[in-house]
Every structure is written in structure tokens, then in C-alpha cells.
Amino acid sequence: MNLTLKIWRQAGPDDGGDFATYDVRDISDDMSFLEMLDVLNEDLIGKGEEPVAFDSDCREGICGQCGLMISGMAHGPDVTTTCQLHMRSFSDGETITVEPWRASSFPVLRDLVVDRSAFDRIIQAGGYISVNTGAAPEAHSVPVPKANADRAFDTATCIGCGACVAACPNASGMLFMGAKIAHLGELPQGQPERDSRVVSMVNQHDAEGFGGCTNIGECAAACPKEIPLDVINQLNKDFRKAKKGAH
Ligand code: SF4
Ligand code: FES
């Protein structure tokens, strides 16, 4: 298929940036969106022009590096990561707009690349457990009810891609944070730091400039790992209990 791409070009954090229009030809249905951008970049390099900067690492939907706003949708029209989005989701002759995540907490570094280290700082504030490491304990020595184990496992699938922030009109990071709170709060190992974790993470989230949740739900709709909206309820509940010292 042949496509027209309107891509955000920005030379650096202090540049104003603007859209540039490119045509790409003979794109296979089976290519991923990033492979299609690779084709564009090879063409640009061949012509002596600056390739489009974008992030990726695993290209398997597990690292969370590759988020792009594609025609106004975080990660594009399918519920998946940009690297797992295939060109068969688009039509021949289509014009596709490609932008970086738009959130002041994720400043643009260059073209489509944003700085998501605000998420790292939220994790550093409390998204961990402190345990003595050593030999793995016997698997049955810490019983966890199946429902809790399943919920912990499902919420642990958050890859920190930032689509939830990009999709949210408030640029809130609460789905991301709620996924970590739910994951660790379901497990016995997560209990000792449960109160301090939620307070520290929420404080850091707010200090980074992310907005609050107003129950719009765009975050969960855009999440490639289908993290459910109710993790934000769990986060709010844990936060209230921690403030009251009720755990
Ligand atoms: S909650 Fe979903 S959208 Fe948000 S960072 Fe995690 S995987 Fe990405
Ligand atoms: S490149 Fe790793 S999730 Fe897309």
C-alpha cells in the first residue's frame, strides 16, 4: 500500500517543532508500524535527509519503549503496542498522523522520542519491596490465594509505556501507578511497605506534574496490557487507609 505520513519533527527539547509530510510506497500489510517507519528512514537517509527519531527496543510488546500517538490514538487503532501494530490495520491511500506522547511530564527530546523518566522516579519512590534476596524459597512456603495471585499477575503486566497518560485528558499517571499498587498490594511480600509505598508514589506522581483521575476511562481503553480501571479504586482506597493509618 501507499501512504502519506504527517510526522512531528522537532530538533530538540527547545525547538518549537512542526509536522512534515512524507509519502511511503509499497508498504506490506505484514509490516509492523515500526518497520514501516524503518522504510521511511532508509529512504530519508538515502536522500541525505535526517531520519525520524523514535524509540523502540524489544519490538515484542514487552519493554514499553515504542509509544506513539497515531492519528490521535495512543499506540494506534488496535489495543496493542506500536511495535505490535501491523500495517493491515490501515488502508491503501490513507494519511496517518504520527506524534509523540503529549504530556508536560513527558517532555519531547527529539521528533517522536519523549523522556518518560518521571515514571522511573515514581517507581523509585515506592514501587518495590524490600526483601532479603538469596536462594529462592520453597514455592509453597508463602501461600497466596489464587484470586490474589491472578490479580497480582494481571496487574504486573503493565510495561510502563505511558499510553494511559497520553490518552488521558488530564495526563494522569494513575492507571500506571494503580497497576503497581495493585500488583504489590495483592501479595504478602508487598504488605510491610504498603502504606509508605502508596503515599510516596502519589506524592511523586503529583510532583512530576501528572494530573488527577476524573474517571474518564481513556487510560484503560488505550492500555495495550488491558490494565483495568478499577486499579485506580484500589489505589485511592489504599491511599485513604494509609493516611488514616488503617492497614
Ligand atoms: S497502565 Fe497500561 S498504558 Fe499505562 S503504562 Fe501500564 S501498560 Fe502502559
Ligand atoms: S518496542 Fe518494546 S514494547 Fe514496543
What tens digit of pLDDT does each residue of 87-104 get?
999 999 999 999 999 999
Give the β-pairing of 69-70 and 73-74: antiparallel
- Whose C-alpha lies nearest to ligand 2, atom 3? 61
Specify the residue for cell string 514487552.
62
Whether the CB-CB separation of 2 and 24 falls below 8 Å is answered with yes
Determine the topology of domain 3-110 in CATH: Ubiquitin-like (UB roll) (3.10.20)
What is this structure's pTM?
Answer: 0.95
Question: What does the domain layout of the chain look like in residue ranges?
Answer: 3-110, 117-131+142-244
Q: What is the CATH number of domain 117-131+142-244?
A: 1.10.1060.10
pLDDT of 202 reads 98
pLDDT band at 245 (very low <50, low <70, confident <90, very high): confident
Q: How far apart are CA 17 and CA 120, in angstroms?
A: 26
Quick one: average pLDDT of 50-62? Answer: 97
Which of the listed residues 79, 116, 157, 164 should we mutate to test ligand 1's pocket, taking the one with most ligand atoms within 8 A of CB? 164
Q: Are 136 and 188 in contact (CB under 8 A)?
A: no
**DSSP labels for 176-233?**
HHHHHHHHHHTSGGGSTTHHHHHHHHHHHHHHTT-B---S--HHHHH-TT---THHHH
Residue 157 CA to ligand 2 center (angstroms) comes to 13
HSE of 232 in the Cβ direction (CA atoms, 13 Å)?
18
pLDDT value, residue 138:
85
Instruction: Inform me whether the pLDDT recorded for 135 exceeds 90.
Output: no
For residue 108, the model assigns a pLDDT of 98
Ligand 2: residue of 35, 63, 157 to mutate (most ligand atoms within 8 A of CB) is 63
Q: Can you point out the beta strands (E) in the chain? A: 3-9, 18-24, 69-70, 73-74, 95-99, 108-110, 113-114
Q: What is the pLDDT of residues 17-43, one digit of tens each?
A: 999 999 999 999 999 999 999 999 999
Return the pLDDT at 247: 63
Q: How many CA atoms lie within 13 A of 168 on its CB side?
A: 26
Ligand nearest to the CA of 116: 1
246, pLDDT greater than 80: no
Which of 215, 228, 133 is closest to 182 using CA atoms? 228
Residue 116 confidence (pLDDT): 98
Alpha carbon of 79 to ligand 2 centroid (Å): 14
Measured between its terminal Cα atoms, the distance across the chain in Å is 58
